[in-house]
Amino acid sequence: MTEENVVRRQSFDAEGPVELDLGTGGGGVTVRLVDEPGVHVEIRHDPSAASPWAQGVTNLMSWVSTQFGSQLGGQFGETVPPGSNADAEAVRQTRVDFNAGRLVVRTPKDIQLRNIPILVSVQAPVGSHVEARTGSGDVTVNGGAGRLNLNTGSGRISADQAESTVHVDTGSGTVRLGPMAAGLRAKTGSGDVEITAIGGASTVVTGSGDVWLGAVTGDVLARTGSGRVTIANAASGELELHTGSGAIHVGVREGSPAEVDLSSGSGEARSDLDLKTSPPESKPSLRIRGRTGSGSALVTAAATE
């Protein structure tokens, strides 16, 4: 292992789901949830995630430390030992703690090291709860999670599955999620959102991107400033769908009675479902309200496989 390629690996005993609390200033976070005991952590420098401005800041701080460290003292004079590689030092100084079933990982906050991108990779038992934050990097969770709270300033977020509450937020990046059994809150400033299935009350917002939802059996508020809103297979719930400039399309599962209210400022608004002239015997399990400023709004039968 060279100074330029320092990798830290640590393992901890755990028989069941744990709490993961992972934070990086820059660089990605990858979590694998598997049917195996134990928690395994790998910390390494992530040069692919480095931005030119961040590298410039790091180089400047290293120069300041070299030239004036003894005069400034504190964080400038002591963080990176003379002759050390800053990337390797950032790996070494990343905090990794495991106590009472909770793993905490934090990259250094010192001004010389905080802009160095660090990749955090964790393997933990399936069903673990994951909280991950990164300033600029992708967040990926593979396997079945319990609770999810994922945040990145500028990066993509993806997760396979979750059984409990889910919160995801990215400033500029796509969101790709598998089945979310208990519903979720998902937000991106500029990027597409794709969710395979939603089973609980959910809010999905993107400033400029498309929203695509697969099977829906819960209340959903979906909003995009400029993009399409698509629900492939809606079975139940109250669906409130809005787009400033884009199309709305909802596919209704066979056998699901629906109440439909569609409006478009400058486009077609239409339902292709069979209409009943007599009032229903009970309240429909599915209510659809779609609003688009400039685009079509369409409700059809869901496609059958």
> Computed over its alpha carbons, how large is the radius of gyration of the chain?
24
Residue 76: per-residue pLDDT? 47
**11: its two tokens:** 């393992």
Residue 78: per-residue pLDDT? 46
Burial of 90 (0-12, 13-18, 19+ CB in 10 A): buried
Provide the pLDDT confidence category of residue 53 given band limits of 50, 70 and 90. Answer: very low
Q: Which residue has the higher pLDDT, 1 or 272?
A: 272
pLDDT tens for residues 207-260? 999 999 999 999 999 999 999 999 999 999 999 999 999 999 999 999 999 999
Is residue 188 within 8 Å of 170, Cβ to Cβ?
Answer: yes
pLDDT tens for residues 158-214? 999 999 999 999 999 999 999 999 999 999 999 999 999 999 999 999 999 999 999
Residue 79: per-residue pLDDT? 58
Least confidently predicted of 45-49, 173-177, 194-198, 295-299: 45-49
Give bridge partners of residue 139 from the DSSP assignment: 29, 157
Residue 278: per-residue pLDDT? 77
Indicate whether 1 pLDDT > 80: no
Per the listing, tokens 């010192």 go with: 110
Q: What average pLDDT score do residues 107-126 get?
A: 93
Q: How many CA atoms lie within 13 A of 210 on its CB side?
A: 11
Provide the pLDDT confidence category of residue 47 given band limits of 50, 70 and 90. Answer: confident
pLDDT tens for residues 61-114? 554 454 555 454 544 444 556 556 889 999 999 999 999 999 999 999 888 888
Is residue 224 within 8 Å of 246, Cβ to Cβ?
Answer: yes
Is residue 152 within 8 Å of 134, Cβ to Cβ?
Answer: yes
